[in-house]
Amino acid sequence: MASLLELKNVSKIYGDLHALDDVSLTVEKGEWVAIMGPSGSGKSTMMNIIGCMDKPSLGQVLLDGKDISKESQTSLTTIRRDKIGLIFQQFHLINYLNAVENVMVAQYYHSVPDEKEALAALERVGLKDRAKHLPSQLSGGEQQRVCIARALINNPEIILADEPTGNLDEANENIVLDIFRQLHKEGTSLVVVTHDPEVGEVAQRTIRLEHGKIISDEKNENFVE
Amino acid sequence: MIKNKKRLMFFKMISLSLLRRRSRMIVALLAIVVGATVLAGLVTIYYDVPRQMSESMRSYGANMIFTPDGTDSLTDEMIERALSYIPARDLDGYTPYRYENTTINKNPVTFAGVDFDGVKKTAPYWNVDGAYPTRDGEVLIGANVAKTFNLGVGDKTVAVSSIEITEDVDESLIPDYEIIEIDGVKSADHELPIKVVGIIQTGSSEEDYVYLSYSDVEYLTAKHRGYDLVEVSVNSTGGLESYTTSISNGVEGLRAKLIKHVAASESAVLTKLTSLIFIVTAVVLLLTMICVATTMTAVIAERRKEIGLRKALGASNLSVVGEFLGEGLLLGGVGGILGSVLGYVFAEIVSKNVFGGSITFLWWLIPVTIIASVAVTGIACLIPIRSAVDVDPALVLKGE
Amino acid sequence: MFFRMIKGTFIHQWKKMLMIALTVALGTSIATAMLNVMLDVGDKINAELKTYGANINVVSKSAAIVSSLYETDEATDAYLQENVTGELLTIFWANNILDFAPFLDGQVKLDGTDQKVTGTWFHYHLSFRKKGSDYIRDTGINNLRDWWEIVDGERYDEQADFYKDAGDLFAMVGENVAEKKNLKAGDEITLTGKTTEVVKVVGVFSSGDNEDDVIYLPLSTAQRLTGKADLIQSISVSALTSPEDETSQKVAKNPELARPEDYELWYCTAYVSSICHQIQEAIPTSSASAIRRVADSEGDILNKTELLMTLITVLSLIGSALAISNLVTSSVMERSQELGLMKAIGAKNVRIAGLVLTEILLVALVGAVSGYFIGFGFAQIIGHTVFGASIDMKGMVAFLVAVLIFAVTLIGSLPAIRNILRLRPSEVLHGR
Is any Cβ of chain A less than 8 angstroms from the Cβ of B9? yes
Chain A, nearest residue to C431 by Cα: A90
pLDDT digits (tens, 9 = 90+) for B190-240: 888 889 999 988 877 788 889 998 888 888 888 888 898 898 988 876 677
Tell if the CB–CB gap between A97 and B13 is shorter than 8 Å: yes
Among A88, A92, A90, A70, which residue's Cα sits nearest to residue A79? A70
- State residue C432's pLDDT score: 41
Q: Give me the number of domains chain C comprises.
A: 2
Work out the end-to-end distance of chain B between its first and last CA atoms, rounded to an integer number of angstroms: 40
Average pLDDT score over chain B: 82
**Same domain, yes or no: C256 and C370:** no
pLDDT digits (tens, 9 = 90+) for C404-427: 888 888 887 777 777 777 766 665
Worst-scoring range by mean pLDDT, B196-200, C114-118, C340-344? C340-344
**Same domain, yes or no: C19 and C70:** no
Residue C67: its chain B contacts at CB < 8 A?
A: 144-145, 147-148, 208
- State residue C426's pLDDT score: 60
pLDDT digits (tens, 9 = 90+) for B273-310: 888 888 878 877 777 777 777 777 777 777 777 888 88
Q: Is the pLDDT of residue B259 over 90?
A: no
Higher pLDDT, C329 or B256: B256
Is any Cβ of chain B less than 8 angstroms from the Cβ of A133? no
* Interatomic CA distance for residues C266 and C252, integer angstroms: 8
**Same domain, yes or no: C261 and C309:** no
Q: Is the pLDDT of residue C323 over 80?
A: no
Average pLDDT score over chain C: 81
Is any Cβ of chain C less than 8 angstroms from the Cβ of B275? yes
pLDDT digits (tens, 9 = 90+) for A196-205: 888 888 888 9
Q: How many Cβ atoms from other residues are within 10 Å of residue B351's Cβ?
A: 21
List the subunits that have 3+ CB pairs under 8 angstroms with B: A, C
Residue C165 pLDDT grade (very low, low, confident, very high; cuts 50, 70, 90): confident
Q: B236-240, C61-65, C102-106: which has the highest mean pLDDT?
A: C102-106
**Same domain, yes or no: C247 and C355:** no
Worst-scoring range by mean pLDDT, A101-110, B50-59, C86-95, C222-231? B50-59
Does residue A27 fall inside a structural domain? yes
- State residue C427's pLDDT score: 58
pLDDT digits (tens, 9 = 90+) for A130-160: 889 988 888 888 888 899 999 888 888 889 8
Which of C337, C426, C430, C432 best tests the A interface by mutation, with the highest count of A CBs <10 A? C432
Residue A173's domain is classified under what CATH number? 3.40.50.300
Residue A146 to chain C, least CA–CA distance (Å): 14
Residue A73 to chain C, least CA–CA distance (Å): 28
Among residues 26-85 of chain B, which lie with CB inside 8 Å of chain C?
27, 30-31, 34-35, 37-38, 41-42, 45, 49, 53, 56-57, 59-61, 65
Give yes or no for a contact between C333 and C58, defined as CB atoms under 8 angstroms apart.
Answer: no
Residues of C near A (Cβ–Cβ under 8 Å) read 430-432
Residue C432 to chain A, least CA–CA distance (Å): 5
Does residue A224 fall inside a structural domain? no
Which of B53, B265, B305, B355 best tests the C interface by mutation, with the highest count of C CBs <10 A? B265
Domain holding A168, by residue range, is 5-219
Closest residue to A113, CB basis, from B9, B305, B306: B9
* Interatomic CA distance for residues B38 and B57, integer angstroms: 27
Chain B, nearest residue to C415 by Cα: B23
* Interatomic CA distance for residues B186 and B165, integer angstroms: 5
- State residue C1's pLDDT score: 64
Q: What is the mean pLDDT of residues C189-199?
A: 90
**Same domain, yes or no: C12 and C159:** no
Domain holding C395, by residue range, is 2-46+300-429
**Same domain, yes or no: C220 and C106:** yes
Q: Is the pLDDT of residue C220 over 80?
A: yes
Bridge partner residues of C116 (DSSP): C107, C214
Tell if the CB–CB gap between C206 and B260 is shorter than 8 Å: yes
Q: Which of C248, C270, C290 marks a domain boundary?
A: C290
Q: Is the pLDDT of residue B32 over 80?
A: yes
HSE-CB of B196 using CA atoms within 13 angstroms: 26
User: Angle at the Cα of C266 (from C261 to C270), degrees rounded to 5?
Assistant: 150
Q: Give me the number of domains chain A comprises.
A: 1
**Region of residue A112 (phi > 0: left; psi between -120 and 50: alpha; otherwise: beta):** beta
Size of interface B-C (CB pairs under 8 A): 224
Tell if the CB–CB gap between A113 and B8 is shorter than 8 Å: yes
Residue C27: its chain B contacts at CB < 8 A?
A: 287, 291
Higher pLDDT, A156 or C335: A156
Instruction: Determine the 3-state secondary structure of C148 from DSSP.
Output: coil
Bridge partner residues of C307 (DSSP): none
Q: Is the pLDDT of residue B400 over 80?
A: no
- State residue C104's pLDDT score: 92
Does residue C295 fall inside a structural domain? no
Q: Which of C261, C290, C319 marks a domain boundary?
A: C290
Does residue A170 fall inside a structural domain? yes
List the subunits that have 3+ CB pairs under 8 angstroms with C: A, B
Q: B110-124, C6-20, C21-35, C213-227: which has the highest mean pLDDT?
A: C213-227
Q: How many Cβ atoms from other residues are within 10 Å of residue A101's Cβ?
A: 23
Residue C143: its chain B contacts at CB < 8 A?
A: none
Does residue A225 fall inside a structural domain? no
Tell if the CB–CB gap between C297 and B349 is shorter than 8 Å: no
User: DSSP string of C267-299?
Assistant: HTTTBHHHHHHHHHHHSTTEEEEE-HHHHHHHH
Bridge partner residues of C172 (DSSP): C203, C216
Q: Which of C237, C258, C290 marks a domain boundary?
A: C290
Tell if the CB–CB gap between A112 and B6 is shorter than 8 Å: yes
Q: Is the pLDDT of residue B314 over 90?
A: no
Is any Cβ of chain C less than 8 angstroms from the Cβ of B150? no
Size of interface A-B (CB pairs under 8 A): 77
Residue B317: its chain A contacts at CB < 8 A?
A: 74
Tell if the CB–CB gap between A96 and B20 is shorter than 8 Å: yes
Chain B, nearest residue to A101 by Cα: B13
